[in-house]
A and B are shown apart, each in its own frame.
Chain A
Amino acid sequence: MEFSEHIKTANVEDVVLRQPLHPPSRGTLCITGHHLLFSDREEGGPRQVLLLLRNIDAVEKSVENLSGYSSLFSNAGRSERISGSSGTITIKCKDLRVLQLDIPGMEQCLNIAHSIETLSCLDCVSELYPFFYRPSDLSLQDQWGLSFPEKHYSQMKELHDRWRLSSVNRGYSVCPTYPPAVIVPKEINDDMLVKVAKFRQGGRFPVLCYYHRKNGMVIMRSSQPLTGANRKRCREDELLLQAVIDGSDKGYIIDTRSSQQAQQARITGGGFESKSCYNCWKRLHRQMERAKALQESLIKLVEACGEESHNMDRWLSKLENSKWLSHVQTALSTAGLLAECVERDGHSVLVHGSEGTDSTLLISTLAQVIMDPCCRTVEGFLALLEREWVQAGHPFQQRCAHSAYSHARLQQESPLFLLLLDCVWQLWRQFPLALGFSEALLLRLATEAYASDYGTFLCNSDQERCSLGVKEKTHCLFQALLRPKEREYYSNPLYERTELAIWPSVHPQSLQLWRGFFLRWTPQARHLEEAQEEIRNMVIEWGKLALVT
């Protein structure tokens, strides 16, 4: 590898690191191809900070040619530095941590900053750390992933008389963002599917993503139909949807755009299912913000959280202005609507927006957590994420390239996955007993989606992962999270399985800022984490004791 080209200075002594929740410390900084390593030489045992460069969202440097560097440590006898130049690098991470490095020597400082800038946003996926990470307790021979369509299908026997597993997408020839096998109505053959795929943006024809055991209703998802200005029709598409409701009087289509947006989409070749062609389907429009608006919202929120003024600073107004919580509200209420159509109203639903890779996945995932107790365990939730996000083609690489601090021009970045985790956190808070996992799992996922040792969130689709050999050359995060120790750590000790749907309250007075994530690096959040840890341990101990006695 040619990482060394980007590293002009690999080691710097005498660096001061300031990070949240710790006193400043002095030590050695080391840059490798994927990591920033800081080890201090303070008394009381050495401490190391290992930071994945990929986690770095923004680097800000300020260099000064003056003395005064050692003013912080008055006892520092390193006189040769005092007269020299120095610089400060501020590192803002995608997990919202902010670190500061005081580096002696202007040149070294600039070199380090340059290395971080380059190495933190390598374009080539196969150069990323997951391809190099080889922990001793995991083997590349292990199964990659928790669930694959074949297994998912075979587990749901109830499906088999009306639904089949199609391998029409073998070789990703029909839809590059779908997995090779998908579940579709039995009476629609592969040739028809190919035609339907041509009628849907990006080839994302309607596929089954959830089967509701209680009443046999399903959730389908797809992208928008390409009706265009001429109101094109596709017989096979209509047949497919007809086959979905089979005998039932109607189905719902939840379009994540406003009806106006859906109309406008026709100009650019997109469109919606018109009443006249799909007369058994009832469209419901719910406008969900586009990717870019979400990213801007996140940036505003993080900015507001970071302003550390303790005075009357109209914090709540800033929180409101960021609109983040209103995005949470929209997502939860749209998911609630979807779940309601299926569970209460007893009808099948097709969900799509435009591409069907973002808000579509967001609400289909949330609806499943709301309705299906199997999705609320640690394994169930991870398998759900794998099905609905990783395999279903959420473009993680594009969406999570940068987070809230980046100075780079925004391209495809958008915190949809983070929004999902926030919504799940709201569910977790409203139903403290119903979810089998803890907040820590959500925090871990929020970090891993942006920068990870594992290959799970690499690339934009199954096809890309396949061509790069991600499944052969990297380890799977979800498998790692299910190792006994991790699994215990991420489970909710108060968990009591309930078969009932968990209907979230979506009014602003019921929603809260996810402080555990957004204010994670403040002392209080840390304190709360510790207290929760303590409570966990207590409850677990009681459980064990209750078994013994």
Chain B
Amino acid sequence: MEKQAGAAGTADGAGPNRKPWGSPNFGPATGDTLDSPAGSHVEWCKQLIAATISNQISGSVPPDIVNKDKKQDLHDEGLCYHKESDSEHPSKAMNLPALRYGAQVRMFQNQVPLLPGETIQTTVKDVMYICPFSGLVNGTLTITDYKLYFTSVERESQFILDVNLGVISRLETISVPTQGENTKGLELVCKDMRSPRFAYKTEESHPDVVEAVAKHAFPISHNLPLFAFRYEEQFPVDGWKVYDPTAEYRRQGLPNESWAISKINSTYELCDTYPSILVIPTNITDEDIKRVAVFRAKHRVPVLSWIHPESQATIVRCSQPLVGPSDRRCKEDERFLQIIMDANAQSHKLTIFDARQSSVAVTNKAKDGGYESESFYPNVELNFLEIPNIHVMRESLRKMKDVVYPTIDEAHWHSAIDQTHWLEYIRLLLAGAAKIADKLESGKTSVVVHCSDGSDRTAQLTSLAMLMLDSYYRTLRGFQVLVEKEWMSFGHKFAARVGHGDENHANSERSPLFVQFIDCVWQMTRQFPAAFEFNELFLITVLDHLYSCLFGTFFYNSEEERAAKEVQTKTVSLWSYINSQPEDFTNPFYVDYEHHVLYPLVSSRHLDLWTSYYARWNPRMRPQLPVHQTLKELLILRAELQKRVEELQKETSSHSLSSSSEHSPSPTHTIGTPLHTAV
């Protein structure tokens, strides 16, 4: 990430180092952006002219670069709304707060802030950062085992670029013809929609930058541990305790007479990509389940994921049946689905949502996969949700990167987004999840969701449907449970999809499905601004640490693997970090829409590109006011009032009833005004 010294910088791609450190370098030019809402305009225009502006804009841009488009009139220089000025004002991409934990560190070594456990590997002087917006910045590049840290102290304000190594997808050498023969160029193609570039000298005395970066950006490929295994930060809460499957199923009212908590997979023998604790129908034998496992891809048998508290309709997830070209059948599988249907007395039907495009499902059948035939499964209705596969999604986001980075073609902004189809896929996912939720809520019918393996689109759909149906998952804590459960425990292949520490960037297994899921959640938070306890910063932080390799939360492909690698004892959980400072991730306007089902509108007119995530590296993305601080103050005020109300209520209950009327205004009037926005 790139930030101005001292100012609480942009969305930090690189872990919890958000705290303004380096106060010694706190330049006078930057001071006023901290406490003045918009940053004084005069101030930032001064900075602009000096070309020393924060984030993207360097301290070393020669004046002729800045002014190249402005020959006509000297006086117009620096008028930001004048012409197509290629320099811009400071972009506080998020106006992020300084967080308490994970930032308190820390040692400084050569002015480089380090996390506990982090060590400097190489320091290279005379490196040039090639800023896509304002040209070259000369400075010092430090490579640690966690991040790449570039500083420049030219001019009066310091320029810092801080990129964690986990976010790097591949390293590419580029040519920098203008800088002389012995200069090499390096582009860091990142997973989070940016590609910073550097130029450096290749003299004998210089260490090899590429080698040093590659070694620590791709530790797996170099037989080194991921950084999370070295990270030594202590947090006051333990995020690994967030998800306890038994407690979560108990919350849902399980076990009950139809559903049992089973230990059949306790040693991951039945299915190595499933969690050890499963919820399956009571009246089915282990023998039968094993036969069903053989009939389902990767042995991912149908298991309960969520049960409706009233109708007892369930969301069941699994993988595709191995029907094959010869229309194989499995009596146990057919009976299994019948039992699932019978467990819900409200409906005599069962709906299967196959996430795939129907044509693909047919092709899969020829390759030994397939789908449930309605003639072999009585009372079953099969729906295809027509969602394209992981490769299509990867390609779509790749196109999106071209649209948002490094520069934006302003004249064709909307049509360029249209052409990526990204929002179209977001719409398909939300629409599919809404269909599932509606089937349970209105149709009182149990549903089975699968795609091919049941770990990608299935996870997206079940978790989104559960978010619509169950208000618990819309809390800060509940959302963590949802992710732990539907994604981690049910074996979404994070390692394969993200490629932590692996240099094989062209691996076709990679795909941004989790990003897509978080995007869908963001779309819902926009449509229901008071229904979610967490805020946008939370969603962005989750995505940043999907890549950062600072926390072990997203490591490996399955629960079994995580257990074998002792992730829980050897790494820190992302939720430890989040839950140590929940006030920063909390939406002050949150009202528990308990028992409300939220159906998002899925017309393309109501979906937006999440620019504050995808386009945040663009200096022209500029939120204007530090709203965050005000919202946080509101949150504190709200908490105080809540406490006061509770005290009043206590008083009321201990006093006689009549005395309560003296309190004004009445406490019942205050917090969590009941909402009329039932959907």
Q: Which residues of A contact B (CB under 8 A)?
A: 250, 282, 284, 305, 308, 310, 312-317, 319-320, 325, 333-334, 336-337, 340-341, 343-345, 430-434, 494, 496, 498, 500-510, 512, 515, 519, 522-524, 527-528, 530-532, 534-535, 537-539, 541-542, 544-546, 548-549
Residue of A nearest to B633 (CB): A496
How far is the CB of B34 from the nearest CB of chain A, in Å? 13
Given A507-B408, A534-B673 in contact, is the A315-B624 Cβ separation under 8 Å?
Answer: no
Mask of B595-625 contacts with A, CB within 8 angstroms, 1/0: 0000001111110110100010010111111
Q: Mark B408-450, 1 if CB is under 8 A from A, else 0.
A: 1010111101100101100100010000000000000000000
Kindly state whether residue B63 has any CB partner on chain A within 8 Å: no
Complex alpha-carbon distance, A434 and B75, angstroms: 30
B529 within 8 Å of A by Cβ? yes
A-B contact pairs, 11 of them (CB 8 A): A310-B602, A316-B414, A316-B418, A430-B625, A432-B625, A433-B625, A434-B37, A501-B41, A505-B622, A531-B530, A544-B665
Interface: B111 (CB within 8 A): no
Beyond known contacts A340-B80, A341-B79, A505-B622: 16 more, CB 8 A cutoff:
A282-B73, A337-B81, A344-B42, A431-B38, A431-B624, A507-B408, A508-B408, A509-B413, A509-B609, A509-B611, A509-B621, A538-B589, A541-B670, A542-B638, A549-B640, A549-B644
Q: Contacts of A544 on B, CB cut-off 8 Å?
A: 665
| Inter-subunit contact A434/B625 (CB<8 Å) | yes
Structural contact, A313 and B413, CB atoms closer than 8 A: no
The docked-state distance in angstroms from the alpha carbon of A239 to that of B638 is 60
Judge if B284 is at the interface, Cβ distance under 8 Å: no
Residues of A close to B640: CB separation below 8 A: 546, 549
The 6 closest A-B pairs by CB, nearest first: A336-B81, A320-B414, A337-B81, A524-B601, A508-B413, A316-B414
Q: Is the interface of A mostly helix, strand, loop or mixed?
A: helix
A316, A337, A502 pick with most chain B CB within 10 angstroms? A316
B89 at the interface (CB under 8 A from A): yes
Which residues of the other chain, A, contact B421 by a CB distance below 8 angstroms?
Answer: 312
Determine the chain B residues whose CB is within 8 A of the CB of A510 once the complex forms.
Answer: 611, 620-622
Inter-subunit contact B618/A316 (CB<8 Å): no
Asked if B664 CB lies within 8 Å of chain A CBs, one says: yes
A249 smallest CB distance to B (angstroms): 10
How far is the CB of A373 from the nearest CB of chain B, in Å? 11
Interface secondary structure of B, over-half rule: loop
- Name the interface residues of B650-679: CB closer than 8 Å to any CB of A: 664-665, 669-670, 673, 675-677, 679
Q: Give Cα A41–Cα B452 distance, bound, in whole angstroms.
A: 54
- The answer, yes or no, to whether B641 is at the interface (CB within 8 Å) is yes
Chain B: residues with Cβ within 8 Å of the partner, total of: 71
Partner of B79, one of A345, A508, A524: A345
What's the minimum C-beta distance from B53 to chain A, rounded to whole angstroms? 14
Which of the residues B589, B601, B604 comes within 8 Å of A522, measured between beta carbons?
A: B601
The complex places the Cα of A317 from the Cα of B625 at a distance, in Å, of 30
Say if the beta carbon of B563 comes within 8 Å of chain A: no
Contact residues in B for A336 (Cβ distance below 8 Å)? 80-81
Say whether, besides A315-B418, A507-B408, A509-B408, A534 and B625 are in contact (CB < 8 Å).
no
- Complex-state Cα separation, A13 to B627, whole angstroms: 54
Chain A, residue nearest B643 (CB) = A549
- Judged by a CB distance under 8 angstroms, whether B539 is at the interface is no
Q: Does B37 contact A528, Cβ atoms closer than 8 Å?
A: no
How far does the Cβ of B45 sit from chain A's closest Cβ, in whole Å? 5
Tell me how far the C-beta of A541 lies from the nearest C-beta in chain B, rounded to whole angstroms.
Answer: 6
Q: Chain A: which residue is nearest B674 at the CB level?
A: A534
Report the nearest A residue to B410, measured CB to CB. A508
In contact, B664 and A542 (Cβ under 8 angstroms): no
Is A505 a contact partner of B529 (Cβ separation < 8 A)? Answer: no
Q: A347 to nearest B CB, angstroms?
A: 9
Is A431 within 8 A of B625, CB to CB?
yes
Given A308-B603, A310-B603, A310-B604, also A316-B677 (CB < 8 A): no
Complex partner residue of B605 from A284, A315, A501, CB under 8 angstroms: A315
Q: Would you call B630 an interface residue if the criterion is a C-beta within 8 Å of the partner chain's C-beta atoms?
A: yes
- Bound CA span A500–B630, Å: 17
A-contacting residues, B385-419, CB 8 Å: 404, 408, 410, 412-415, 417-418
What is the CB-to-nearest-CB distance from A396 to chain B, in angstroms, rounded to a whole number?
Answer: 28
Task: Report the Cα distance A191→B236, complex, angstroms.
Answer: 80
Q: A320-B414, A496-B630 are in contact. Are A527 and B530 (CB under 8 A)?
A: no
Question: How far in angstroms is the closest Cβ of chain A from B650?
Answer: 15
